[in-house]
Amino acid sequence: MKVVMWHNPRCTKSRQTLQLLQERGIEPEVVKYLETPPSAEELEEVIGLLGFSSPRELMRRKEKEYRELELDDESLPDAALIKAMHAHPRLIERPVVIVEDDSGRRAAIGRPPENVLALFE
């Protein structure tokens, strides 16, 4: 089983999610996504894994970049939203945990941190 976590060490929920996994003996590959943003393709895949109908569901809408880039414009295509998240990774909701095993790939957002435990049931 491969476990990857998009992590922001300054975020309480992200730290709590990492601790929750580690307490269960799960050592994820930690990706500090602010330093190494996911590609547009990775973002697109994770949006699908999460079951979201729009990239906007993965966005932190209260970030100043969201307002400054006028991302609340409903006419923006999905590709523009994904491009914005890649260019400005602070816009990505956190933390994201991605699991890959024999049954496939799946993902969850650790808000609350316990949400990610469903990936291991």
Q: What domains sit in the chain, N to C, each tagged with a CATH number?
A: 2-120 (3.40.30.10)
Q: From the candidates 4, 6, 11, 56, which is the catalytic residue?
A: 11
DSSP annotation of 109: E
35 — phi, psi (to 5°)? Answer: -90, -35
- pLDDT at res. 28: 98
Residue 11 appears among annotated catalytic residues: yes
Band the pLDDT of 107: cuts 50, 70, 90. Answer: very high
Read off the pLDDT of each residue in 110-114 and give the average, rounded to a whole number.
Answer: 97
Angle ∠(70,34,48) on CA atoms, nearest 5: 70
Structure letter (DSSP) for residue 73: -
Q: Which of 106, 99, 57, 50 is nearest to 82 (CA)?
A: 57
The per-residue b/e assignment along 18-35, b for 16 or more CB within 10 angstroms, e otherwise, is bebbeeeebebebbebbe
121 pLDDT band, cuts 50/70/90, is confident
CB neighbour list of residue 65: distance below 8 Å, 6 or more residues apart = 71, 84, 88, 90, 91
Residue-wise pLDDT tens digits, 90-104: 999 999 999 999 999
Interval 38-57: pLDDT, tens: 999 999 999 999 999 999 99
